[in-house]
Amino acid sequence: MKIGFIGVGNMGNPMATNLIKAGHQLTVHDIRQEAATNLLEMGANWADSPKATVPGNEVVFTSLPMPRHVEAVVLGENGILEGAKRGSIYVDLSTNSPTVIRRIHQTCAEKGVIVLDAPVSGGVYGAAAGTLAVMVGGDEKVFRRIKPALDAIGGHVVYCGPIGNGMVCKICNNLLSMGTGVLLAEALTLGVKAGVDLATLADVIANSSGGCKRITEKFPRYLFKGNFQPGFATSLAAKDVRLATDLGREYGMPMELSNMVDQRHVEALHRGWGDLDSDAVAQIQEEKAGVQLRLPV
């Protein structure tokens, strides 16, 4: 397929790389052209604006940090919508607000432009390996048409229903992941403080009812090594948790525990850890407990 791809940062670049490796022809754009150097060397074409990524391509993807960035790239001056025509397909791979992507969908539909949401999960290492989970909302027939491209970036591509449903699934997933990270930090510091070796404790939990990917895959790569280079940045984790609590408010739902997780991430941001990996949030609990959760390298 001929594909436009906007946003080739920590997640976007490896996804775009895998699309090229799968035989797709890419036209790429980013606010920093140097971020696309490896992709251009692999044969991708450069576009000077989001608008310029659209002509001649069957689908345009975005992978961007915040909902406001997505809105600006799609609906703003020299944006995707300006370059699109009736029947053009746009897919957002970002973790976005369901309300925002539904609003973008409605605006684009007035011009006959098709919008799907397809947020991904699995971190930078999953993006590099092409094993991401991809959660897709929108027209199912269009989903089937572009699925070969999605299969190049994800090992588990799921149709979730109407527009916005992919975002809802992703937000729920990330809320649980971040909340698990906070609770795990408390449990692990408790166990270590009470005299259990961290490696032993982590092994027991990983193979018991408390086991989860956060302790078997994420912590060993980041927290347990004292490695806070993203990865998945704390600023993005905080954004995703806030998207979840905002969605809860929108639907009038109580979110007591989620709001506690939200505030822990707010504290991490106030400490200046926004650019660090999201495992850095566990350092707050480490400080309070007087315990460092590190394993020998």
Overall CATH class of domain 2-163: alpha beta
Using alpha carbons, select from 158, 111, 123 the residue that is nearest to residue 138: 158
Q: Is 78 left (phi over 0), alpha (psi -120 to 50) or beta?
A: left
Task: Locate the domains of the chain by residue range.
Answer: 2-163, 168-289
Phi, psi of 79 (to 5 degrees): -90, 180
Q: Is the Cβ–Cβ distance between 261 and 179 less than 8 Å?
A: yes
Quote the distance between the C-alpha of residue 211 and its chain's center.
Answer: 22
Report the alpha-carbon distance of residue 209 to residue 216 in Å, rounded. 13
Report the alpha-carbon distance of residue 248 to residue 132 in Å, rounded. 26
Q: What is the largest CA-CA distance in the chain?
A: 65
Give catalytic residues, as residue numbers: 170
Report the alpha-carbon distance of residue 83 to residue 219 in Å, rounded. 43
Predicted local confidence at residue 231, as pLDDT? 87
Q: Is the Cβ–Cβ distance between 97 and 66 less than 8 Å?
A: no
Is 168-289 assigned to CATH 1.10.1040.10?
yes
Q: Is the Cβ–Cβ distance between 202 and 188 less than 8 Å?
A: yes
2-163 and 168-289 share one CATH topology? Answer: no
Environment class of 293 (CB within 10 Å of its CB; exposed 0-12, middle 13-18, buried 19+): buried
Looking at the chain, the number of H-run helices and the number of E-run strands are 14, 9
DSSP conformation class of 277: B
Phi, psi of 296 (to 5 degrees): -60, 135
pLDDT in tens, the chain (297 residues): 999 999 999 999 999 999 999 999 999 999 999 999 999 999 999 999 999 999 999 999 999 999 999 999 999 999 999 999 999 999 999 999 999 999 999 999 999 999 999 999 998 999 999 999 999 999 999 999 999 999 999 999 999 999 999 999 999 999 999 999 999 999 999 999 999 999 999 999 999 999 999 999 999 999 999 999 988 999 999 999 999 999 999 999 999 999 999 999 999 999 999 999 999 999 999 999 999 999 998
Segment holding 60, helix H or strand E: strand 59-62
Question: Could you tell me whether strands 120-121 and 132-137 are parallel, antiparallel, or unpaired per DSSP bridges?
Answer: antiparallel
Q: Is the Cβ–Cβ distance between 67 and 44 less than 8 Å?
A: no
Please list the residues that pair with 90 across neighbouring strands: 60, 115
pTM: 0.94
Predicted local confidence at residue 297, as pLDDT? 81
Residue 86, token pair as written in the block: 């009736």
